[in-house]
Amino acid sequence: MGVKIEGIITPILTPMFDDESINEKELRNQVDRLIDAGVSGIFCFGTNGESYILSDAEKEFVLKVVIEQTAHRVPVYAGTGCPGTKDTIRMSQMAEKLGADVLSIICPYFAAANQHEIYNHYKTVNDNVDLPIVIYNIPPRTGNKVLPETIKKLSVLKNIKGVKDSSGDFQNMLKYLDATEDLPDFSVLAGNDALILPNLFFGGKGAIAGCSNIYPKQIVSIYNLFREGKIEEAKKAQKSINPLRATFRYGNPNTIIKTAVRLLGYPVGPCRAPFNEISPEGLEELKKVLEENRKVGME
C-alpha cells in the first residue's frame, strides 16, 4: 500500500547554531516534538527548512538525520526541486536512495517557464524516479505558475500524486480540486495556513503547514476536528492562528516562524543570513501574540 498523502505535514525548519552550522541534536528533538503532536508527515527542505540556502551536502545530511529519527513513524517528504531538470533528478534520486517516502518538487524558478516546459520538467523527473511526487506551486517565490490544466495533464502520470498550492489564491486551489476530482488518490494540499479548513471543506486532503512548526497540536486539531465532524470547533481552531499570521507583515514568514519557535524555548537558531531580520516593532508584536496564545493553552 502506498503512502497516504494527507493530514498535516510539517515543513520542518532546519535548526542551526549561531555560526549557521546544522544543529543535529535540536533537529532530532524537533522531529520527535512534531510526531508526538500528531503530524502526519515531516517535510524536509520546504521554504521553512531554508531549502533555498542549504548546500547539497547539508541537504543530504539533514535528510539522513530526519529519516533516521523518524524511524518510519510518519512519512518523510524531501524537497528536491531545482531550477533545472537534470539537478532535480539528481537530488530526487539522492533522496530516494536515502529512504525518503515522498518527493516534493517546486516549480522551476528564476527563469520564466511556459506550461509546456513545466510539464516536460515534471514528466522527465517522473520517468526517472519511483517515489510519489507532490508538485509545489508557489508563484510568489518562483515567478512561475503551474496552471490547473497542467496539473490535470500531470496528474495521470504514474508518480504524480499531489500538489501543494502556496499561491494564496483560493480560486486556484479550487481549480486544482476540480481538475483532479476523478482521481481519489490525488491529493490537493493547502500551502497557505489560512486555507487549511477551506481546503478540507472542498475535498482537499490537508496541508503542508509552516505554522505547525510553532503550534503543531493546534494545527493538527484543525484537521482532526474536521474529520470528526466538529465543524464549529474546527473553525475556531483555524481562526486561532490568525493573530500569528498577522505578524508575517514584519518580515519573511519563515523568519517569523523560526523566531517564534526560538522564543518558545527551542534552540533552533536564526535563519541563515541575510534572511534573518525582524524589526523591533515586529519582534515585540510576535512576543505579544505568543504570550496571548500561551495563556489560552495553544501548543
Which residues are catalytic, by number? Answer: 136, 164
Residue 254 neighbours by CB distance under 10 Å? 22
Q: Each residue of 229-269: pLDDT tens digit?
A: 999 999 999 999 999 999 999 999 999 999 999 999 999 99
C-beta atoms surrounding 157 within 10 Å: 15
Confirm if 184 and 148 have CB atoms less than 8 A apart.
no
For the segment 82-92, the average pLDDT, to the nearest whole number, is 97
Burial class (CB in 10 A: 0-12, 13-18, 19+), 22: middle
Q: Are 261 and 26 in contact (CB under 8 A)?
A: no
On the question of pLDDT at 1 being above 60, the answer is no
Q: How large is the average pLDDT for residues 79-108?
A: 97
Which helix (H) or strand (E) is 188 found in, with range?
A: strand 187-190
Whether residue 270 is preceded by a cis peptide bond, meaning omega within 30 degrees of 0, is no
Q: Which pLDDT band, with edges at 50, 70 and 90, does 2 fall under?
A: confident
How many angstroms separate the CA atoms of 83 and 85, rounded?
7
What pLDDT is stored for residue 18 in this prediction? 95
Q: Is the pLDDT of residue 275 over 80?
A: yes
pTM of model > 0.85: yes
What was the pLDDT predicted at 141?
Answer: 87
Chain-centroid distance of CA 30 in Å reads 15
**How far from 89 is each of 65, 95, 96, 122, CA to CA, in Å?**
21, 10, 10, 10
Among candidate residues 143, 96, 91, the one with its CA nearest the CA of residue 118: 143
The closest of 103, 107, 75, 81 to 10, measured between CA atoms, is 75
Reading the block at residue 156, the C-alpha cell is: 495521470
The three cell numbers of residue 235 are: 473553525
Report the half-sphere exposure of 62 (CA within 13 A, side-chain side). Answer: 32
> What's 297's DSSP letter?
T
**pLDDT of 152 above 90:** yes
Output the CATH code of domain 7-240: 3.20.20.70
Q: Which residue has the higher pLDDT, 141 or 237?
A: 237
User: Average pLDDT, stretch 55-77?
Assistant: 98
pLDDT value, residue 281: 96
Mean pLDDT of 280-296: 96
Q: What is the mean pLDDT of residues 198-211?
A: 97
The pLDDT score that the predictor gives to residue 30 is 98
The full set of domain ranges for the chain reads 7-240
Average pLDDT value for residue range 260-282: 96
Give the percent of the chain with pLDDT over 70: 100
